[in-house]
Amino acid sequence: MSVLPDIATVPVREHPRTGTWSSPTLRYVVGRVLSAFGTLVFVVLFNFFLFRVMPGDPISLYTRGRAMDQDQLRALRSQLNAPLGQQLLEYLTNPFAGGVDSIRFNEPVWEVISPRVPATLLLVGTATVIATLVGVWLGIRSGWNRGGRFDKVSTSTTLVLYSMPEFWFGMIILIVFSVQLGWFPVGGLSTPGTDLGTPAGWLDVAWHLVLPVTTLAVIYFAEYSLIMRASILEERSQEYVQTARAKGLMDSVVRRRHAVPNALLPTMTLVFLNLGFVIGGAITIEYVFSIDGLGSLTVVALQGPDVPLLQALFLLFSAAVIVANLVADLLYGWFDPRVRT
C-alpha cells in the first residue's frame, strides 16, 4: 500500500457539485428508492404465489375450524377460482385487506394486526436503541485497547451471549427474576386495569418491559459490539489515525473525533440490516413473555395455520425491514458522501 493515493485512481467528478441535490445525489436516492420498491414487489409476488402452490384444497385450508354457510363458501370458491391474473391484480391493489378474513379471529386481517403494532414497535424499538448504545460503547472500549483485560472479558462474554437462542435466555431470566425472586411481572405489557394515559401507567409498562427488552437487547448488543470492535480495529490502522496521532492529539481525541465517526458507519448499517433478525427475536420473546403484539400473533397464526393472517404478517414484517433498509441506505449516503458518486 502506498502512502499517497495514485493520482490516476482518484475519481474525477464530471459534474461539479452545485448543492445537496446535485445529480449524483439525486441518482443515488432515486436508485435506492427504486431498488427498495423492486424488493417490495418481489416480496408481494412471492407471498401471493407461495400460498397458492400450497398442497391441498385451499378452501379447506382457508376455512379450517370456521363455520361458513353455503353462500359464503360459494363466494370464497368463486374468488379462488377466478383467473390467476385477476386474483393477482386484486391482491396487488390491496394486499392486506383484500381476500379472506383471518380464520381465527373472523375479522379482516388488518383489523387483527393494527391494534397489536404498538406493543411490538415499543419492544423492538427500545431494545434496538439500548443494544446499539451499549454495543457501540463496548465495541469502542474493547477495540481501542485490544488485548487488554476489558477486551478479553468483553469479547468472550459477547461470544457466549451471541451463541444463545434469545428465547432461552428470556426463559432463564424469567425463571430467576420473576418466579424465584419475584422482582418483575411474569408476563404481559401492563397490569390489567391500569390507565395507560397516566405517568403511573407508563411506569407500569416500563416495569413490565424490563425483562423482555433486556433479553432482546443483550443478544444484539453482543453482536453489535463484535462488529464495532472489528470496525474500530480496522480504522485504528488507517493512515489518518496515524496522522492525528503524529499531530500530537490526545488519545481520547483521536478516538472520539477521528476513529469513532468512521467506525460507526458499518455498525449503523448492520443495525438496520439486523432489524429483520430483531423482529424474528421479537416473535419468540413476545411468546415467552406473553406480550400481545405481532410476534405472539404470528405464533397464534402458525398454529392453525391461519393462512390469511400469516400471509399478511409476513408481508408486514418484510415491508418494515425493506423500509428500514432504505432509510439506512439514504442515511449512509448522507453521512458518507463517497457512496453517492
Residues that bind another protein (CB under 8 A): 35, 38-39, 42-43, 46-47, 50-51, 53-55, 159-160, 162-165, 167-168, 171-172, 174-175, 179-180, 186, 230, 233, 275-277, 279-281, 283-284, 287-288, 298-299, 302-303, 305, 307, 310-311, 313-314, 317-318, 321-322, 325
CB 151 within 8 A of CB 143: yes
CB 167 within 8 A of CB 289: no
Q: Judged by CB, which is closer to another protein: 8, or 160?
A: 160
Q: Judged by CB, which is closer to another protein: 165, or 337?
A: 165
Minimum distance, C-beta of residue 282 to another protein, in the bound complex (Å)? 9
Closest to 122 (Cα-Cα) out of 289, 330, 329, 270: 289
Minimum distance, C-beta of residue 204 to another protein, in the bound complex (Å)? 22
Closest to 330 (Cα-Cα) out of 93, 104, 20, 102: 20
Give the integer Cα–Cα distance in Å for 56 and 173.
Answer: 42
Query: What is the secondary structure of 246-300 as a DSSP string?
Result: HTT--HHHIIIIIIHHHHHHHHHHHHHHTHHHHHHHHHHHHHHTT--SHHHHHHH
Number of Cα atoms under 13 Å in the Cβ half of residue 89: 5
Q: Which amino acid, residue 117?
A: V
Minimum distance, C-beta of residue 186 to another protein, in the bound complex (Å)? 7
Give the integer Cα–Cα distance in Å for 121 and 277.
Answer: 14
Minimum distance, C-beta of residue 15 to another protein, in the bound complex (Å)? 26
| Residue 46: all three cell numbers together | 412471492
Q: Judged by CB, which is closer to another protein: 53, or 246?
A: 53
Minimum distance, C-beta of residue 4 to another protein, in the bound complex (Å)? 22
Q: Judged by CB, which is closer to another protein: 249, or 327?
A: 327
Minimum distance, C-beta of residue 175 to another protein, in the bound complex (Å)? 5
Q: Judged by CB, which is closer to another protein: 260, or 279?
A: 279
Q: Judged by CB, which is closer to another protein: 168, or 240?
A: 168
Q: Judged by CB, which is closer to another protein: 74, or 321?
A: 321
Minimum distance, C-beta of residue 252 to another protein, in the bound complex (Å)? 24
Give the integer Cα–Cα distance in Å for 153 and 135.
Answer: 14
- Omega before 95 within 30 of 0, i.e. cis: no
Q: What angle do CA 295, 298, 303 make, to 5 degrees?
A: 135
Minimum distance, C-beta of residue 151 to another protein, in the bound complex (Å)? 13
Q: Which residues contact 91 (CB under 8 A, 6 or more apart)?
A: 44, 48, 98, 99
Q: Judged by CB, which is closer to another protein: 138, or 317?
A: 317
